Structure 1
Amino acid sequence: MKRLISVTVPLLSLAIAGCGDESDDLPVDGREFDGVTYSERAPYQGRVIDGYLNNARVWLDLDDNGQYTAGPVEIELDSGNTHILEDGEPTVMSGPGGRFSMDVSALDVPPSIGANLDPRDYPLYALAIPGQTLEERSYGDEAVSRAFLMSASPGVTNITPLTTLARFRSLAGQWNTENPIPDNRFADLDGINLWKDYILANDDRAHAYARGLARFMASQIPDGYNDYLAGNGSDGSEASLLPRDGVYLLGYSVVQNVDEVIAIVDAAVSGGNYGNVDTDTLVLPDVDVEVSNPRLLVSQRISARPTRSDTLPTNTSDLGASAELSFEYSEGGRLLAVSSRGCMGISLPEMARLFQADGYMTNLKTQWLPSAALSPQSAIWYDEEGVHERLEFEWENGVASLDTVTTCHEQTLGVTPGGTELDGISDISWVWDDQAGTLVESVPDRADDRELKVESANSPAEVLDGEQPPLDLVSGYQLTEGGGLEAAVEFAGGGASCAPQGVAPNDTERNGQYATRLFPFSFTSDVAASDLFGAGAYEYDLDERNGVSFARLLRFPFLDRATANRPEVDSANGAFQWQLFYDALNSEELDVQRPNLLKTAYLVDFVATSDCGDGPLDRPGRAYATVEYEYQSLSDYLLDRLSE
């Protein structure tokens, strides 16, 4: 999967001028008219273009959802009144030459409630329908083989791949800005007017770029949606089946990848003649788009700096920030990299869990179970702005690597940084074998590799997970170094289930977290630690209240002797436990579709396992570290990246 590409958005005003042969048709630059007056209600006219596209569905997007909306549609007027379009948004099929003439008389508003609506205030959309829409080629008409969706900014009536680029560049460029920026400032691409009819203007270069982008856009349409349109004699009114967020993600992906598409088209040019470029044969970027627009973990703030003492644990109120992690994603919601200011904690079980999810955080019920580096070096580096560690993934190859400039992992993992700047050279590497369920960790100057083998028998992953994501993927494991056992967690039986103590079955808004499902395990290691966790268990809260079903991991213990041996860590035996807290069921911030998203985690000493039904579980007063989670929708994340 490719990385995100930064796109520079031009901010200089452009003189958008027509070019090409004179014509009685619409102005070549795509505006609806040349004059400054607009009096008599007339059909709203324009063109749909890749080549000229006949029999494409065109509509005026009055409710700004990127979908065709059938009636009735309610529009709130500036007067505060509501105008109702009983037949839905104005729509029409394009004809020969890609021309459309749309009846917009439904935008006439009774004078008693407000002024008429102006079609130039709303964006246009056009859907090319596989097997139905015909592209006019030099050798005759050809049915498009795959659907693609195009748009144009308000007032622009040419609808092309290039107007789509201009529209979503404008939306991205104006994200988080206080003052509106005119759309025409985003309508230039290396001297090309993105709004124009490039066929009428005889602009082979613009036409080649448009055709390349059209193919790229078609490749991103979900297969199920494309197949539905192709197999049901569609007239394009099913445009409402794509969710609004998905429509916008498709548009932002065009902005994100336009540089690469154009570079591929440019490389195919011979003798400067763009007219001879066969865009059908180009190998374009293969970029999935997650049109469901999931919420994804975008940052973690780790506090493991004791502010009133020299050792950990300490009062949670006395923990200061020591690291901040930033997560990077593709348009498909796949994790590409994690950057850290300060040091990140390394958890082999969690790395294996991510590989099992194939890098898609949205495949996990709980995203990125916590870990933390307790080295005081992390806080020292945190006080220096910048990126000090970077974890990158190559999911197709089952590989991950960490580049660091810190000494945080020298004592715990034997890692010596390769330099004072991140150089892209791996200081730690991991290789995942999906068939064997093993993850091998290698450090250049360390004598032996460590290997984690996933053991799923009787685990939460085996008991709780179905066939479809999101999945729990919490399993047992066997961890070895140089062939010798370091630690092993083996789950025994399916565990006990019970009702939350003191909570009535019909209490739909119970507060607090309860240990309603225990998954007992046995722990072994290379030291006499068979009784280290006693009757240990992974504690879950499984319930359904008020229509919200959840399976939340609350507590899980683990052994980390290397961290316990640090002089600033006051741990008797290296037996730690993470305690996890989520949004309350009656919280306004609760995502009912994703109720298992972590809010805060606490690293504490393991003391004892809860009794089944115990709760509500209290937040600890003392801890080695806390981890705070922040989430964002995929579309908002991409917009933030594009507007940087």
Structure 2
Amino acid sequence: MTRLLPLALSLAVFSLTGCKNESTPPPEDGRDFDSGDYIEPGAYTGTVMNGYLSQARVWLDIDGDGQVTAGPLEITLESGTVVTLENGEPTALSGDNGRFELDTSELQLDATVGPDLDPRDYALYATILPGRTIDQSRGGVVLDKAFMMSAPPGVRLISPLTSLERFRALAGLAGQFEANATLADAFRHSNPRQDYLKAGDDRAYAYARVFARFLAAQFPEGTSEALANGDGTERLLDINAIKVLAVAFIRNAATLVQRVDEAAPAGRYQNVDIDAIELPVEGLDLLNPVVLATEVVFAHSEDGALPASRSGLERSAELAYSYNPAGQLVRIEANGCMAPSMQELARLANAGGEMAATGTQWLPSISASQLSMGYLQEDGVDEVLEIDWATRTARFYTTTDCHPELAATDALDGEPARSYQWSLNAGRVLSITDGERTLVPDYENASETFLGYRLMEDGVELAALDLTGELVSCLDQLDDADQLPPRVVSAQQSYQFSGFEPQPDLFETLLLEFDTRKERQRLLSYSFLDDRLAAVPELDGQAGFRWELFYQSEDGIIEPEQPNLIEQGFLTLHTRPQSCGRNEDSSPGALFARINRGYKRLSEILAGGVN
């Protein structure tokens, strides 16, 4: 399901530059329309089309945010001088045959201020207004669905085809159509920037029409309704949402082209029933959140002695995280070895698979096998975790010997080394099993960051984690709390861990520790027992383990709405809990492992999976 954005959004500025080359006027058939000379000051004309579209909102996106920006709009010149466009970005409604004319007179500057702003340096956008925009090429049909189109800087024809080129650039993908073999073949004899109606190019027109259908199908319904009641100047989608829409278009463009080709009887594209073509519509997270992209694990000691100092640990595994356009984690690839966690799978399933909705995202769970480094030193992926949210299953594949209880396979497909299955009730996980053990979540006093559980095998309880109390704050005891170091224990929550024989003495009293300043909830540390981790010969983990988590610094936060992203984690021995209110700004010295994490926008990760 598409996640809708609120009407009031904070806007990101995305600077765009373009080509300034002059060329000859366009030929009669409309080819190379974009290369027409721009001569007359104050007027910037062009055409918006699927068929020719009148009453579409067109604007010159000077500030690069993908929305109509009203005046006054401040623009910083290369010299550093700030100029103000009192009327904002040039905008107009298209007229007959899709023609539009933008008043760019404000872009002419006094010579003492700086050179004129050239409209060819900026991308054009057009939004179809439901119930108002008319497709004149289809007998005056009034369009009932909104969608957005664009064109590269300097191109004055806006169509679904120029939109594909423009959106590729917006997503950070080089090239126009030649990067994808299907698209390169489709446009081998067509110029995507041409007026395909004037040129009589039925094939390009068929592609444009199916692209327009897809763009309309992906456009958020709530935004479409708002446009039906407005004039297209409303600021409804920010640049992050537009990037997700752009990547979704790019991901599916080749499929759409193939389906048009298959539907063209004997290559007669004028006879294609565009409305009968099945669209590969995807759910989108238009918030375009920041999500976990990479993780590097340091858990190898050259001399075999663990725990070791921070500098004494060597890189042992590298993980890459993949997502679908809805923001659901669908795949983890490891060069080296990893350790899937049923507790984290359950927590993620409670968020519908959407990593960003978990707040802290994936709590660390690593393989400490000293064999991992050997696999890392060889090229290629060694282990994979695939997640299918529709069937509530996950499959783990390994070609390594890092897991004594699992049989390695020759390939990362076919029969998995281990499968996970979970059941839901009212959107929450009832239980999750790996075929041998079953984890039953306990939601008493649980938060989105941490939950209790029972670990069962053949109906026998192996271990249990009980959150025995609610979060207790000591924030009011801290003087000048916001002036303290980045990592301060300002709240604690008691829990019990049982089921291990013998139970370590220090595991009688346990506390989760949080930093709750600035209305955040950052889990700083937690202790645990893990028989599989303790079984690694190099680890002396009989006293239990402890994760110490460090988050992005204030100047390193990518997204203010997502401040609880773990940057580093340190695996050390469990120690006796201490009092609330401590400054915990230094990393521990004796380590079994550490992790470093990297994050990206969802659209960036999605764009990395297309060509």
Q: What TM-score does the superposition give when structure 2 sets the normalisation length?
A: 0.89
Deviation at 1:560, TM superposition (A): 1.0
In structure 1, the partner of 2:151 is 152
Q: Distance in 2 between matches of 1:41 and 1:425?
A: 67
1:312-461 mapped onto 2 (5 Å cutoff): 312-410=306-404, 414-419=405-410, 421-435=411-425, 437-442=429-434, 449-459=436-446, 461=447
1:165 alignment partner AA: L
Q: Distance in 2 between matches of 1:77 and 1:19?
A: 31
1:301 alignment partner AA: V
Deviation at 1:559, TM superposition (A): 1.5
Aligned residue for 2:196, secondary structure, equals coil
Unaligned runs of 5+ residues in structure 1 are 2-15, 176-180, 443-447, 462-471
Give me the CA root mean square deviation.
2.8
Deviation at 1:394, TM superposition (A): 1.0
Q: 1:532 to 1:262 in 2, by over 3 A?
A: farther
In structure 2, the partner of 1:578 is 547
Q: Distance in 1 between matches of 2:374 and 2:80?
A: 56
Q: Kindly provide the CA deviation profile for residues 524-560 of structure 1, in whole angstroms up to 9, marking residues without a partner as x.
A: 226353866111122222222xxxx210111122211
Q: 1:530 to 1:170 in 2, by over 3 A?
A: closer
Q: 1:196 to 1:17 in 2, by over 3 A?
A: farther
Aligned residue for 1:317, secondary structure, equals helix
Q: Kindly provide the CA deviation profile for residues 605-624 of structure 1, in whole angstroms up to 9, marking residues without a partner as x.
A: 21212223233354210111
Alpha carbons 1:79, 1:113 under 8 Å: kept: no
Deviation at 1:107, TM superposition (A): 2.1
1:543 alignment partner AA: R
Alpha carbons 1:78, 1:114 under 8 Å: kept: no
Matching residue within 483, 507, 522 for 1:509: 483
Q: Distance in 2 between matches of 1:44 and 1:559?
A: 68
Deviates further, 607-616 or 60-69: 607-616
1:25-44 mapped onto 2 (5 Å cutoff): 27-31=30-34, 33=36, 38-41=38-41, 43-44=43-44
Q: Distance in 2 between matches of 1:78 and 1:539?
A: 49
State whether structure 2 residue 191 is matched by structure 1 residue 193: yes
Q: What TM-score does the superposition give when structure 1 sets the normalisation length?
A: 0.84
Alpha carbons 2:168, 2:176 under 8 Å: kept: no
Q: Kindly provide the CA deviation profile for residues 294-328 of structure 1, in whole angstroms up to 9, marking residues without a partner as x.
A: 21111111000012x21322222201000010111
Alpha carbons 2:26, 2:34 under 8 Å: kept: no
Matching residue within 601, 605, 616 for 2:573: 605
In structure 2, the partner of 1:563 is 533
Alpha carbons 1:66, 1:248 under 8 Å: kept: no
Q: 1:272 to 1:404 in 2, by over 3 A?
A: same
Aligned residue for 1:533, secondary structure, equals helix
Aligned residue for 1:259, secondary structure, equals helix
Aligned residue for 1:369, secondary structure, equals coil
Q: 1:264 to 1:580 in 2, by over 3 A?
A: same
Deviation at 1:151, TM superposition (A): 0.5
1:571 alignment partner AA: G
In structure 2, the partner of 1:535 is 509
Percent identity of paired positions between Structure 1 and Structure 2: 37
Q: Kindly provide the CA deviation profile for residues 487-528 of structure 1, in whole angstroms up to 9, marking residues without a partner as x.
A: 111112314321376x41x34332142332222122222635
Q: Distance in 1 between matches of 2:81 and 2:178?
A: 31
Q: Distance in 2 between matches of 1:28 and 1:126?
A: 20
Q: 1:193 to 1:173 in 2, by over 3 A?
A: farther
Q: Distance in 2 between matches of 1:578 and 1:159?
A: 53
Deviation at 1:92, TM superposition (A): 0.9
Q: 1:426 to 1:439 in 2, by over 3 A?
A: farther
Deviation at 1:19, TM superposition (A): 10
2:445 alignment partner AA: N
Alpha carbons 1:170, 1:183 under 8 Å: kept: no
Unaligned runs of 5+ residues in structure 2 are 2-22
Deviation at 1:642, TM superposition (A): 4.6
Q: Distance in 2 between matches of 1:478 and 1:621?
A: 32
Q: 1:185 to 1:621 in 2, by over 3 A?
A: closer
State whether structure 2 residue 597 is matched by structure 1 residue 621: no
Alpha carbons 2:46, 2:157 under 8 Å: kept: yes
1:587-606 mapped onto 2 (5 Å cutoff): 587-589=555-557, 591-606=559-574
1:334 alignment partner AA: Q
Q: 1:102 to 1:32 in 2, by over 3 A?
A: farther
The size of the alignment, in residue pairs, is 584
Alpha carbons 1:173, 1:642 under 8 Å: kept: no
Aligned residue for 1:302, secondary structure, equals strand
Q: 1:190 to 1:424 in 2, by over 3 A?
A: farther
Q: Distance in 2 between matches of 1:276 and 1:541?
A: 64
Q: 1:190 to 1:433 in 2, by over 3 A?
A: farther
Deviation at 1:342, TM superposition (A): 0.2
State whether structure 2 residue 252 is matched by structure 1 residue 257: yes
Q: Distance in 2 between matches of 1:113 and 1:56?
A: 34
Alpha carbons 1:515, 1:610 under 8 Å: kept: no
Deviates further, 250-259 or 55-64: 250-259
Alpha carbons 1:604, 1:624 under 8 Å: kept: yes
Q: Distance in 1 between matches of 2:82 and 2:476?
A: 49
Deviation at 1:172, TM superposition (A): 4.9
Aligned residue for 1:47, secondary structure, equals strand
In structure 2, the partner of 1:135 is 135
Deviates further, 310-319 or 185-194: 185-194
Deviates further, 217-226 or 47-56: 217-226
Aligned residue for 2:412, secondary structure, equals coil
